[in-house]
Chains A and B, each alone.
Chain A
Amino acid sequence: MISLPPSERDLHAYVDHQLLESDRRAMETWLAGHPEVAAQVHAWQQDAQLLRASLSGVLQTPANPQLDPALIRQRIRHRSRRHLATAAALLIAVGIGGLGGWHAREATHPPTLPMTDAMQAYRLFAQDGIMPADYKTQDSGTMQAWLDRYFNQAHRLPDLSQAGFRPVSGRLLTTEQGAAAMVLYEDRQGQRISFYIRPPGPGNGFLPRGSRSADGLQAEYWSGGGYNYAMVSPVGQPGTPLLKF
């Protein structure tokens, strides 16, 4: 409830329609008896109206296609691909120097088995732990947000919280098929499952849903939203077979 005579603050609130209805009526009654103040308030109202009128024309300016959000999003994506490439240069150096050069091998003989790179990434990051994470979190919502910066319209991160797994770290890498990311989940016992995402590559190699195992690792893979995905975990890790992705 405003007090009368009104403070200047209340007069502005009146001009800006920010008074309660009862206060607004009280103000109008009071202004009717105080023409000098009413004139001032009216002048402010008129200034506001004229300002609205004079600035309304700008709203009709023809659209500038350069400002379309989809286009801007695309530009950002191209830029983040370049950032990914920088991160990957480091990864490739590690791969060739320390791990028998599986990158080089794959570059000359494209993998015939689906999502081999997802399993390789699991080995590098989840088992050997040689690369620091690009992103760490305690919260699955922010992990999703992190991932969304690099991948558009991708499938959501699977919620494995029922099985006790939470996303803890994310890493960016490049592959022959394009920019990829791996999100590592952990449970309280320190068991790990990875979510891996990357584009299908130049040949649009989308995958029917399937699974396979190699060298002690199990991969479930599928495609959707323009990307290929894999969930990778060690064969026989307790709890994992119950998960649905």
Chain B
Amino acid sequence: MHALDEPLRELIPRLRRFAVSLTRNASSADDLVQSTLERAIISWADKRVEGDLRAWLFSILYRQFLDAHRRSRRYARMLEFFTGRDDAQPSVERTVMAQSTLQAFDKLGTEQRALLLWVSVEGLSYKEVADILEVPLGTVMSRLSRARHALRQLSDGEIASPSLRILK
């Protein structure tokens, strides 16, 4: 067995979760994870190891998703999703509260979903996120801020929340 296989195997559930949050569809998500693992295994040989495996895999997956988004024909099943046949399945375990957060989350754009998942759910550092997106740290911060405000507004619906003064 290859030394990389076990660490990869352990990260598959997280990759699937990230993929689901991007595609909102379990089977498209697994297609995405599969192509991510393929790419990872092939390019592992050339990888200059720095930082953790998870962030590296997330960045591969994210890029694959964006690629698929641009050339959606390459993924037949994803096509359904991109043409609007969104059959994301509701999960019974989710609490009502969480459900509304999740619904709000699903309304966010691709990058905002990825950003919130990396930071809030996976706990990646800002630096790791900056590396994945290939943007400066300050850009990550401002995009994160916008994503949080957007999620807040969408979850709250009409209920007005005290808006934050812009602090210097």
Which A residues are closer than 8 A to B by beta carbons? 5-9, 11-13, 16-18, 36-37, 39-40, 43-44, 47-48, 50-55, 57-61, 63-64, 66-70, 72-73, 75-76, 142, 145-146, 148-149, 152-153
Do A152 and B2 contact each other (CB < 8 Å), given the known contacts A40-B162, A43-B161? yes
Interface of A is mostly: helix
Interface string of B101-116 (1 = CB under 8 A from A): 1100100000000001
A51 touching B102, Cβ below 8 Å: yes
Measured between C-beta atoms, what is the minimum distance from A54 to chain B in Å? 4
Closest to A146 in B: B45
Compute the total of residue contacts between A and B using a CB distance below 8 Å: 142
A52 touching B121, Cβ below 8 Å: yes
State the interface size on chain B (CB cutoff 8 A): 57
Closest to A153 in B: B2
Do A59 and B13 contact each other (CB < 8 Å), given the known contacts A69-B8, A73-B5? yes
**List of A residues within 8 angstroms of B4 by Cβ:** 69
A149–B43 Cα gap in the complex (Å)? Answer: 9
Measured between C-beta atoms, what is the minimum distance from A107 to chain B in Å? 32
A55 touching B121, Cβ below 8 Å: yes
Which of A8, A59, A145 is the one whose CB lies under 8 Å from B145?
A8
Q: Is B60 an interface residue (CB 8 A)?
A: no
Q: Is B34 an interface residue (CB 8 A)?
A: yes
A/B interface sample: 27 pairs, CB < 8 A: A5-B168, A7-B167, A11-B167, A16-B119, A37-B164, A37-B167, A39-B162, A44-B148, A44-B152, A47-B101, A47-B151, A47-B152, A47-B155, A48-B116, A50-B97, A50-B102, A51-B120, A52-B120, A54-B94, A58-B16, A67-B12, A67-B37, A68-B9, A69-B8, A73-B2, A76-B38, A153-B2
A76 touching B42, Cβ below 8 Å: yes
Which of B162, B163, B167 is the one whose CB lies under 8 Å from A5?
B167
Interface centre among A11, A43, A63, A153 (most CB of B within 10 A): A43
B152 touching A50, Cβ below 8 Å: no
Q: Is B79 an interface residue (CB 8 A)?
A: no
Interface string of B139-165 (1 = CB under 8 A from A): 001001100100110010000011111
A50 touching B98, Cβ below 8 Å: yes
Which of B41, B97, B99 is the one whose CB lies under 8 Å from A72?
B41
**List of B residues within 8 angstroms of A75 by Cβ:** 38
Do A69 and B37 contact each other (CB < 8 Å), given the known contacts A8-B145, A153-B2? yes
Measured between C-beta atoms, what is the minimum distance from B127 to chain A in Å? 9
